[in-house]
Chain A
Amino acid sequence: MIPSIEKNRSRGNILILTSLLAWLIVIGLVVGMSFASLFAIQLAAQSMANEIAMAAAQALNDSDREGHMNNLISRNRQLVFAARETHDLAANECPSLRLLAEQLLEETRDGARDLERERRNLLEVAQKEATINGQQSFERLKSHTNLNLPWLQTGVARMTNFSLGFVDGVETNVATPTGLPVLTKFDRDRGYARKKSNLYRANLNARLPGADADLDFNLASLAAPVKAFASQSHLMSTGDFKGQAISHLPSAVKVQLVVSVATKIGAQTKNAVSVTACAAGSGAMDDRITQAL
């Protein structure tokens, strides 16, 4: 029957056209959804990295311990400097007090060594606590990026970088002493302190002159309070993060996460989405506030 054959042929054409169009629509939808899923995964990973960085950063200057340590080191340094001046004065002008002055000087020097040991302990504790906090947050969140769709598979996030450092351009929270003009002049001449703010420069070993040059006075970078307002933990730009040698107290964290992305449709491809987040720990509190507390 000729008419029925022609009818069937026409129907076949429509079927081919429809299925082609349907495939095109399906492919378009899959590509669109893949991009949307990738974007969602990237956002989820970024949010996760931010949370991990913040959790770790909050542990760094917990209860203003780094601010206190910087203040203690600076005051101890002034004490050693003053004790040395007294010792030299007693030796030259009052020999009967020489022994007492020597004893006082030795005590302050011992105090400086103890303080340096304590600073190293604090460094270890702060690093450990920040790492544990970061790791705990990571363990809690890492599966949030796991997605298994027929056209897209994303894996569990991996933490490829966790480093501690400081914020570029942030000096210490400690100002040069006003009661010891000779020491202040020495610090300025040596370039230890900023001229305008009088704050010691970040991550500095402010060695004393003369016989006390063997003592370490390591001052770490920490945001100083301004108008009695202490800086809060906050996210920051990755460009402002500076990694540092392990000898100084850290005040910022950098976290890098990598999420694997794969598709099995057509050619098998594998790639990775990488995100980075940085966070600064809280700054030093105002001395008047810490004293009141």
Chain B
Amino acid sequence: MQQVQSGEVSPSVRRRLRNKGSAIAEFAPALCILICGVMLPLLDLGFIPIRYAVAYVMVNSKINQLALAKSAGNARQALEWDSGWKARLAGCGIQVKKSDLSIVVTDRSNQQHRFRAGQKGVIPGDLLPNPDPEKPRLVYRLEISTSLEISPLFTMRGQGVPGLTSPVPVGITALANWENLAGDPETGEFYINE
């Protein structure tokens, strides 16, 4: 028995009880600090990589879809007219600020030549497909460059801390092999150069 006969509590027991009481009293603010100071900012920040991954997958999926277009002009038109993918990204907290399409031609020396897609006759003749088997085969790819703003879970109006209370600007570039290397008999031009 640690209690003394007069009904008073011994000092060691009192100290332990006091400690326990303080632990309970401190638990609530500690939990608040833990949630507000650590958990929520971590959750807020944690959404950035998740949304980046979503944006990366969707931009890649878009370029693979555009690379199947009949002509480079059609691909550009599809990118400009189809706002569905931008709306889907916006639904995930990602705003597409700018997007552009380019044709990337890689020659034998692995040098890359970049041209604006959908501009008629922009690729010079020596970089176009050639039936001559002795001439080197070139690789044609369609490239999308996007400027995005990825929002964290919680955003505040006005100037904020990027990644915590305001969107983070990122750029995503994706490439896909251009499929249709045929020519248009009406114009005599390759579809990739239309």
A and B co-occur in one complex? yes
Instruction: Show the binding face of A for B, using Cβ within 8 Å.
Output: 3, 6, 39, 167, 169, 171, 194, 196-197, 199, 223-232, 234-237, 240, 280, 283, 286, 289
Asked if B130 contacts A229 (CB within 8 A), the reply is: yes
Specify which chain B residues have a CB less than 8 angstroms from the CB of A230 in the assembled complex.
Answer: 131
* CB-nearest residue of chain B to A170: B182
Q: Is the CB of B131 within 8 A of A232?
A: no
Q: Is the CB of A236 within 8 A of B70?
A: yes
A237 and B131 within 8 A (CB): no
Are A237 and B186 in contact, CB atoms less than 8 angstroms apart?
Answer: no
Cβ A234 vs Cβ B188 within 8 A: no
Contact between B65 and A237, CB atoms less than 8 A apart:
yes
Main secondary structure of the interface of A (DSSP, over half): loop
B183 sits at the interface (CB 8 A): yes
Are B65 and A231 interface neighbours, CB within 8 A? no
B131 x A286 contact (CB < 8 A): yes
In the complex, what's the smallest C-beta–C-beta distance from B79 to chain A, in angstroms? Answer: 13
Q: Is B129 an interface residue (CB 8 A)?
A: yes
Count contacts on B: residues with CB < 8 A to the other chain.
22
Contact of B184 with A by CB under 8 A: yes
A39 and B57: CB pair below 8 A?
A: yes
9 closest A-B pairs by beta carbon, nearest first, are A226-B183, A231-B182, A234-B179, A197-B185, A237-B68, A229-B131, A228-B131, A224-B185, A223-B182
**Which of B147-194 touch A at CB < 8 Å?**
179-186, 188-190
Contacting residues, chain B, for A3 (C-beta < 8 A): 16
**Which chain B residue has the least Cβ–Cβ distance from A289?**
B131
Chain A residue numbers with a CB within 8 Å of B186 are 194, 196-197
For the complex, what is the distance from the CA of A199 to the CA of B131, rounded to whole Å?
Answer: 21
Question: Contact at A226–B190, with CB atoms within 8 Å?
Answer: yes
- Nearest opposing residue in chain A for B53, CB measure: A36
